[in-house]
A and B are shown apart, each in its own frame.
Chain A
Amino acid sequence: MRAPKGIALWVGAASGGVLLVIGIGALLQYLAASAENRPHLLEVVAEGLPAVFFGTAILMAAAGMAASWLFRRHPHAARQLAEQSRSLLAAEKGFRVSTAGAPPLAELAGVINQLADAYHRIEHDLEARSVETRARVEEERDRFAALMSELSQGVVVCNADGRILLYNPRAAALLAPAQAGGQGDYTPLGLGRSVLALLDRNQVAHALDMLQHQIGHVDRPQTRFVAAAANGALLRVQVAPFLGPERRLAGMVFTLDDVGQLMGRESQRLRLLQSLATGVRGPVANLRAATENLASFPDMPADRREQFVGIAAAEARVLTERLNTALLAYADALKGSLTLEDMRAADLLALVQRRVAEALHMPVAIEEADPELWLRVDSYAIAHAMTFLAARLAGDYDLHGFRLRAGGGGSLGEVDLIWTGAIVGSDALSLWEGEPMRVGTEETPLTLRDVLERHGSEAWLQVDKIRQISRFRLLLPRGQAIAPVPLRGAAAESRPEYYDFDLFERIDAAGALAERKLAELSFTVFDTETTGLEPSAGDEIISIGAVRIVNGRVLKGEVFEQLVNPRRNISRESTAVHGIDNKQVAGEPPIEQVLPRFHRFCEDTVLVAHNAAFDMRFLELKEASTGVRFGQPVLDTLLLSAVVHPSIDNHHLDMIAERVGVRVIGRHTALGDALLTADVFLRLVPLLAERGIVTLGQALEASRATYHSRLQY
């Protein structure tokens, strides 16, 4: 900043002032002196005058320079104000510039403070609004997830690369391994995994091809196929695309239905027909030949006649047996139609109760409803039939209300419509059974008889004349109980882990793995428990636990946990560490079965373990016998910790956890340690970033460079 011109003026004026003071002083001295001294005094003044002028000028110049220098060198009030104003932006909200000082500056400071007030108000509003928006988005997501979990169909959504963004619990159940142990070639359903591994790769690829072709030509492109899942279930799969900008394929929605049961019943019916056709042909042929001979040749000898009669009797017996066996074997196939659904009897009664009460404006009570009873019904047809019947009864007789009951044992359930009073003849019921059912304005061409036939069911009137109680009894096929889906409302404690839409943003194909950022890679964090510390001396793995990290989130719902039979003794010392003894692993699969499954679990991820060299050594030694190689990059939390805290020697998992602020729980089970390692790893990632280690390649390089990496097992 330059000194203002005013400074020269001030210096000039000050010099003038000094000279004036000296002049006046000299004049007063002159007036006060005696007459004889005056000429002498004038002489002195005349002699000293140039010196005084020069001295004053020099003095004043020096003062001016000093003032100018001071101005440049030290904060001026205005500059101070500017500084304060600038720090308003960065400092605490309560901070304001000082309003002390010269009036114009004080006024300026006041205006600045007002502006700061307005600025902070706007900032506060914006923040509140963004918090509100975030909360709303979260709530919508959770509501959406809750909705998904209620669906009876399985839903899997993937991005254009086939990476899974979302799945619902039903999909997880449909694609779950057949038994807890699982098969070797089974890949679990998981976020970020490829959808191609779940179903027949070729069929999915074909579906994708079909969709690509349909987009732009068809209004609502979709395709479907029936495929066997890895667990053997037969699934009907419907695939629909969702489109991004410019109608490009952004992802796909798979809906899954288990059609095994339907197909099973269908093929049972077919087999029944076949077995009847082939099983009956032979005996009928024999019977017919024998009886026709008897009829055509009445003169045949007695012994021959006896023979043919014997054949006829025997074949008739065979026919009877075949018929009965076939009908018994396929009894299930004959039951009801495919449109029936399983429903709790109590729910059916509640529905009928509502319908009848609404239609007739009469009290309807539920007398008994077996809570364990499930029925296989067309609930609309049954409710309509019961309402029709009640309306018919109430129309023709003087009734004041109904009661409902559901119960009964065996393979059939009983549903009763009960009333007291009017005794209705069974011929009335026979008549009503054949009428189109009409209730108020609601009419169907169906008759009660049709509804009964559709359910393979029977109905009749039962009358207790003494107590004047009548019941219309309906026998309905029993259904299978459907396990209730646990309630997951919007108030769920934490965000469900069934979806991760952020995966949309990821461009998986781009860049070699080493160039990818740690924050966006998928990891499998694992730990093993072993019989001892020396793999080369025959120690074996007895437990593997693993958890996946996708998009910076530990997926605690998608874990791998398996005990392994080491086929050797577990020493007491090692049992003391992990608590696993010989008895526990006796019934568990050997490493040859477990490792291929674990390999599938790790597919397309970077491995992470604490002191990974130890675990990897065990895995490497099993390459020959299991045929699986873990070729993916491996990160070691021990080494990464050493990178982050180079001055500290102790890199035990517990210690690192404490340093990075992770609570230690569930140690010394493989899964517990894997979960802890995963949490620790996620805390290490930002600490590494502070040191400029952002990509996988950088992390591997830094690990290699640390001292600890030279340790060998």
Chain B
Amino acid sequence: MSEPRKVLIVDDEPNILMALEFLFKRSGYEVRLARDGGEAMKEAEAWRPDLMLLDIMMPVKNGYEVCQSVRERPDFAGLKIVMLSAKGSEAEINKGLSLGADRYVTKPFSTQELLATIDQLLRPDAAGAR
């Protein structure tokens, strides 16, 4: 069996963090949490996750800014970003994807569908696929 994939979950809401941590751990992922954009950048540098689940409305540095900062750095080229947000207008989705997110999922969402999305993104043969 291969090394477990690493997922960094970034959100300022503890309830969703707890639920998602449980979900991903039980599904075989290695999980770390960050409670704002600044923490997320630090964790990303130190831990080098495969995927970042990123909320948008957060203190310090919002999700759009985190995404943009990540995409500006060539050493994060392989990092997948899934935005997970209560902001769901067409303009907001358009902006998230334009700034480099691989997927945009609006809250509320189905946990099973989210898992399926992330499984697909991290499958070895889907590397680089958007």
Contacts and interface: CB of A to CB of B under 8 A. Distances in A.
A462 B94 CA distance: 13
Interface in B45-82: 62, 64-65, 68-69, 72
Contact of B91 (A319, A412, A462): A412
Contacts of A457: 91
A334 B92 CA distance: 14
Contacts of B15: none
A319 B107 CA distance: 12
Contacts of A473: 98
**What 10 A-B pairs come out closest when comparing CB atoms?**
A458-B95, A458-B91, A320-B108, A475-B91, A426-B68, A457-B91, A460-B95, A426-B65, A458-B92, A475-B94
B99 A460 contact: yes
A21 interface: no
A327 interface: yes
B7 to A, nearest CB: 23
Nearest to B106: A324
A407 to B, nearest CB: 14
B3 interface: no
B89 interface: yes
A425 to B, nearest CB: 9
A473 B68 CA distance: 14
A411 B91 CA distance: 9
A458 B95 CA distance: 7
A410 interface: yes
A552 B79 CA distance: 82
A319 B108 contact: yes
Interface string A257-298: 000000000000000000000000000000000000000000
A427 B110 contact: no
Interface of A: 316-317, 319-320, 323, 327, 331, 334, 410-412, 426-427, 430, 456-463, 473, 475
The binding surface of chain B is classed by DSSP as helix
B36 to A, nearest CB: 14
Interface string B24-42: 0000000000000000000
B1 to A, nearest CB: 31
Contacts of A319: 108
Interface in B76-130: 88-92, 94-95, 98-99, 108-110
A71 to B, nearest CB: 110
A459 B98 CA distance: 10
Given A456-B89, A475-B91, 14 more contacts: A319-B108, A327-B88, A412-B90, A412-B94, A426-B69, A430-B65, A457-B91, A458-B92, A458-B95, A460-B68, A460-B95, A460-B98, A462-B98, A475-B94
Interface of B: 62, 64-65, 68-69, 72, 88-92, 94-95, 98-99, 108-110
Contacts of A412: 90-91, 94
Nearest to A462: B98
Residue among B68, B91, B98, B108 having the largest count of chain A Cβ atoms under 10 Å? B91
A456 B64 contact: no
Nearest to A474: B91
B84 to A, nearest CB: 14
Contact of A320 (B64, B89, B98, B110): B110
Nearest to B108: A320
Nearest to B93: A458
A232 B95 CA distance: 40
B98 A334 contact: no
Nearest to A475: B91
A446 B64 CA distance: 23
A81 B69 CA distance: 111
7 contacts: A320-B110, A412-B90, A430-B65, A456-B91, A457-B91, A458-B95, A475-B95
A323 B95 contact: no
B20 to A, nearest CB: 15
A427 B108 contact: no
Residue among B90, B92, B99, B110 having the largest count of chain A Cβ atoms under 10 Å? B90
A485 B13 CA distance: 55
Nearest to A430: B65
Nearest to A461: B68
A334 B64 CA distance: 22
Contacts of A462: 98
Nearest to B74: A465
A594 B108 CA distance: 57
A323 B108 contact: yes
Contact of B90 (A320, A411, A426, A459): A411
A321 to B, nearest CB: 10
B76 to A, nearest CB: 15
B125 to A, nearest CB: 29
A217 to B, nearest CB: 51
Contacts of A463: 72
A378 to B, nearest CB: 16
B33 to A, nearest CB: 23
A11 to B, nearest CB: 122
Residue among B72, B89, B98, B110 having the largest count of chain A Cβ atoms under 10 Å? B89
Contacts of A334: 89
Contacts of A459: 95
B81 to A, nearest CB: 15
Contacts of B109: 320
Contacts of B69: 426
B72 to A, nearest CB: 8
B68 to A, nearest CB: 5
Contact of A458 (B72, B88, B94): B94
A86 B64 CA distance: 100
A410 B110 contact: no
A446 to B, nearest CB: 19
Nearest to B64: A460
B108 A316 contact: yes
B54 to A, nearest CB: 15
Contacts of B110: 317, 320
A44 B69 CA distance: 164
Contacts of B88: 327
Residue among A319, A334, A458 having the largest count of chain B Cβ atoms under 10 Å? A458
A459 B68 CA distance: 13
B91 A427 contact: no
A401 B23 CA distance: 52
Contacts of A475: 91, 94-95
Contacts of B65: 426-427, 430
A412 B90 CA distance: 8
Contacts of A461: 68
A475 B89 CA distance: 12
A460 B100 CA distance: 12
A320 B98 CA distance: 26
Contacts of B92: 458
Contacts of B91: 412, 456-458, 475
